[in-house]
Homo-oligomer: A and B are copies of this chain.
Amino acid sequence: MIGYGFMGAAHSVGWRQAPHVFALPDQAEMAVVVGRNADAVAQAAAQWGWQESATDWREVIARDDIDIVDIVTPGDSHAEIAIAALEAGKHVLCEKPLANTTAQAEAMRDAAARAAERGIRSMVGFTYRRVPAVTFLRDLIAEGVVGTVQQVRAAYRQDWLVDPGMPLAWRLQKEHAGSGALGDIGAHIIDMTQFVTGQEVTAVSGTVETIVKQRPLLGSGSGLSGTAAEGYGEVTVDDLALFTGRLEGGALVSFEATRFATGRKNALTLEVSGDKGALAFDLEDLNSLQFYDRTAPEGRQGFTKILVTEASHPYVAAWWPAGHMLGYEHGFVHQVVDLVTAIAEGTDPHPSFEEGLSVQRVLAAVEGSAAHDSAWVNVNTDVAVKG
């Protein structure tokens, strides 16, 4: 694993739990975690249960005893590490967003395609796909329960930037983070929409906004938990993105990604409306989904709250009896299960780098539209293959 921030903790749970909860087709050992600060990464290795730590990712990638490289660094380093790892013949799991630019993402997609010819697998970490309720929602749509998709509503709302005293962390600077709410949490709802509908976003019209334009400079500390120093600096990424997308099949999608939804902590909500029914999901109530069946008898229709905790539901049989809840990190366990299974079985796991690139292109199109008075912009695609 390259990197050891917040995502490193979450990925570590995935690697630690998967072999002991699921019956994996192959062994998965937590070999080595890599970071630039030797002491800090050694401490992370000890805490999270990795056998070793290291500071040079190139050396680690060169090792024969390493089969899989899991990349949890910030987005600007993804391309270099992932391409090197794929060329070294390692299977790659790369945390989302795939890259900070479309060009980088295209290079990664190409490297993944070349590697695939040699049986090397790659996967991007949109873990919310693997919340059982989301996977089940996708299955139900594929089965036709909502009929033709006619409208989609997707939002990801948080509120941690409402506090004007929150300091100017690297996530709020364009040169490091690439993007703000749009790229970080907007990416999730774009991927989830494309995943569950099986359709790509082909055009967008959008607006991005920075609500608090100056923030205290970061003093001691790092990440999001730093304390403020004296003086102020410019916030160079968006706080809020509102955009409308068009799906391949013609349906419109309303997207909202915000860090200024006071009181909403991690409110990813999705609703897919079709001519036969509707399905809705809420990440703050992640063990369930809501299903409206227009084919049910008149007078008895309504949204059914399905607890997605039955053994028949995706991933659930390995866990607990019906009604016993799963949480945030379970998606990371399922991600490991699916990756290891795909490698063992010689199949391509999803989401592919192609799919990660597809999300980047939608993000770029939103920024393009926002820069042109929110006029509609087509999502640039260079290939016909769908994610």
Contact = CB atoms under 8 A, between A and B. Distances in A.
A252 B278 CA distance: 28
Given A313-B299, A327-B330, A322 B275 contact: no
Contacts of A267: 323
A184 to B, nearest CB: 12
Contact of A254 (B19, B146, B256): B256
B322 A265 contact: yes
Contacts of A10: 320
A195 interface: no
A288 B285 CA distance: 10
Interface string A304-320: 11110110110000011
A324 B263 contact: no
Copies in the complex: 4
A130 B301 CA distance: 21
Contacts of A209: 252
A372 B136 CA distance: 40
A335 interface: no
Contacts of A313: 299
A6 B151 contact: no
A181 to B, nearest CB: 11
A171 B20 CA distance: 27
- Chain A interface residue bracket vs B: 35 or more
Nearest to A254: B242
A266 interface: yes
A153 B265 contact: no
A262 B328 contact: no
Contacts of A273: 159, 162, 260-263
A72 B291 CA distance: 37
A160 interface: yes
Contact of A207 (B49, B252, B274, B329): B252
A300 interface: yes
B244 A242 contact: yes
A87 to B, nearest CB: 32
B327 A162 contact: no
B211 A151 contact: yes
A284 B323 contact: yes
Interface in A279-299: 283-288, 291-292, 294, 298-299
Nearest to A294: B262
A49 to B, nearest CB: 5
Contacts of A162: 150, 273, 275, 294
Interface in A152-169: 153, 158-160, 162, 164
Nearest to A309: B265
A372 B278 CA distance: 31
B240 A262 contact: no
Contacts of A328: 320, 324-326
15 contacts: A6-B321, A12-B20, A20-B49, A151-B240, A205-B205, A207-B376, A261-B273, A262-B278, A265-B309, A283-B325, A298-B310, A299-B306, A299-B310, A325-B327, A374-B374
Interface of A: 6, 10, 12-13, 16-17, 19-21, 23, 47-49, 136, 146, 150-151, 153, 158-160, 162, 164, 205, 207, 209, 211, 224, 240, 242, 244, 252, 254, 256, 258, 260-267, 271, 273-275, 277-278, 283-288, 291-292, 294, 298-307, 309-310, 312-313, 319-330, 372-376
